[in-house]
Amino acid sequence: SNWQDALTILQTEKTDMVLLDLNLGDIDGRHLLDKIKGVPVIVVTGGTSDQTAAEIIQIGVDDFVRKDAAGVYLQSLPIKISTAIERRKAGELFRLAIEAAPSGMLLVDDQQEITFANRMAEEIFGNSSEELVGLPFRQVCMYEDPEVALRPEDLAKTLVEKGRNRELVEAIGIRKDGVQFPMEVGASEIDIHGDPYYLFSVKNIARRKRRETERNRHIQRLERLNAALEERNRELDDFASILSHDLNSPLATIKMSIEFLRKRLEKDRGQDDRVLEETLDGAREAITCVSELVNRVLDFTEKGRQAIRQEEVGLTECVEKAIATLQADIEKSGADIQVQSLPKIQCDRVLVTQVFQNLIQNSIKFHKPGDPTRIEVYSEDLDGREAFVVRDNGLGHESKHSIRMFQPFQYFHSHDHHEGRGLGLGICRRIIEKHGGEIWAEQNPEGGTSVKFTLTKRLSYPEVEAYADWGEDLDAVAR
């Protein structure tokens, strides 16, 4: 028989082992190796140098036996054949296990090239196994070591070192179409026929990252809600103490007035009723005071619950509406109000009008006696955001009160000269917070106060999800 007949048998019949001589007369046996698939091969030949033997082993044969004239080599053949068959079976079992693995599996040689890829790896990277085999490992995986600058040729070794304690490493996978995605990598070093290889299990974790992002977003929202709830509870505590004081004062007046009336009626029936009328007027004013206080408290709490209705609003119109509502107070005080042109913005028309109304009313209320009241309303650029300002030349405030003045029931000027229940600025704060903005007060160098507010969120540290560009439609998260 000849080598052609042997190939025919190999292709048509089940074969356990091939013994291949390099000297086949008209052909070098090495040229047949690519035609022998899935069968252990032991090269049996004579007169071959050690270098040639090493090259033969390198190109994929299972073992090598050098013939000798005495035939001693025949004694070692049975063991070599048995070992090669068992090794090939073990290798096949290993291949089947890797092929069926639920994770993508890549085998990388010490030259950093992929030598094997299973079906799951094909699905993850979008390449066929034939396309993956031969690719540099760095073409499908990126990893930045936070501790050292990583050379491309050290990528596989570095991941193996990171995974020595069976830890999974997060890296970036690269699909055939160039799309990048978060990838979890497990790595180990294995020995195959004396050569080092790196076995990687890879998993696309973009969905998990999205779930983590959603979970973190919900946690942050719950934390914000919890903080807001704690703040509201603190405000309710303030309500309980301060409201008790503010209600008791007019109620005490009413009680005293009624007691006076009772005694007067018992003592002086039919006498001049002028004092009686004055007493009744005092009681009526006290009742009005209580009613006003209750209504303001209800207004304050309602602004915390009321949903905003977004629409494009010209803020100049809001200011004009507020001024029209306060016209009687403006004429009485002689206040001079200058309004610059304000932009249009997405907001709640009614609520923002109330903000301007409360701020202008405060400026009128806390004017400096003896000085003409001047109020300016304008906008200014503040680190790329539009801030709206109500500036006056009134009594001003101490810097230590800049935060407290936006809390409910806070008084920094005498009740005797200035009416109010300490809720106007608190209502403004709630409305502004509903719009995702901020409100604060600044002292003017020449006296008076400037109250400034924004109606958009300040992106002071945007937590932009790094995986938004990885094809998973992840949302950016901002504070």
What would the pLDDT profile of 107-128 be if each residue is shown by its tens digit? 998 888 999 999 999 999 999 9
| Token reading at 242 | 């301060």
Position 400 scores a pLDDT of 58
The mean pLDDT value of the chain amounts to 77
Residues 6 or more apart from 345 whose CB is under 8 A from it? 312, 313, 315, 386, 455
Over residues 361-380, the mean pLDDT reads: 91
Mean pLDDT of 408-428: 58
Residue range 39-66, pLDDT digits in tens = 888 877 776 555 566 666 666 677 777 7
Q: Give yes or no for a contact between 103 and 89, defined as CB atoms under 8 angstroms apart.
A: no
pLDDT per residue as tens digits for the range 202-256: 999 999 999 999 999 999 999 998 988 887 777 766 665 555 556 666 677 777 7
Q: What is the pLDDT of residues 432-458, one digit of tens each?
A: 988 889 999 998 998 899 999 999 754
In SS3 terms, the chain reads as: CCHHHHHHHHHHCCCCCEEECCECCCCEHHHHHHHCCCCCEEEEECCCCHHHHHHHHHCCCCEEEECCCCCCHHHHHHHHHHHHHHHHHHHHHHHHHHHCCCCEEEEEECCCEEEEECHHHHHHHCCCHHHHCCCEHHHCEECCCCCCCCCHHHHHHHHHHHCCCCCCEEEEEECCCCCEEEEEEEEEEEEECCEEEEEEEEEECHHHHHHHHHHHHHHHHHHHHHHHHHHHHHHHHHHHHHHHHHHHHHHHHHHHHHHHHHHHHHHCCCCCCHHHHHHHHHHHHHHHHHHHHHHHHHHHHHHHHCCCCCEEEEHHHHHHHHHHHCHHHHHHHCCEEEECCCCEEEECHHHHHHHHHHHHHHHHHCCCCCCCCEEEEEEEEECCEEEEEEEECCCCCCHHHCCHHHCCCCCCCCCCCCCCCCCHHHHHHHHHHHCCCCEEEEECCCCCEEEEECCCCCCCCCECCCCCCCCCCCCCECC
Burial class for 408, CB neighbours closer than 10 Å (0-12, 13-18, 19+): buried
Place of tokens 């200011």: 319
Most confident of 30-34, 202-206, 418-422: 202-206
pLDDT of residue 402: 57
Mean pLDDT for 341-347 is: 93
Whether the predicted pLDDT of 403 surpasses 80: no
Q: Give tens-digit pLDDT for 293-304.
A: 566 566 656 655
> Averaged over 402-420, what is the pLDDT?
55
Mean pLDDT of 322-342: 92
CA distance 49 to 69: 16
Q: What confidence score (pLDDT) does residue 376 get?
A: 97
pLDDT value of residue 460:
35
Average pLDDT over residues 301-308: 62
Tell me, what's the pLDDT at 266? 67
Q: Which domains does the chain have, with CATH numbers?
A: 3-98 (3.40.50.2300), 102-204 (3.30.450.20), 307-479 (3.30.565.10)
> What pTM value is reported for the model?
0.42
Please check the confidence at residue 411 and state whether its pLDDT lies above 60. no
The confidence score (pLDDT) of residue 475 equals: 33
pLDDT reading at 395 higher than 60: yes
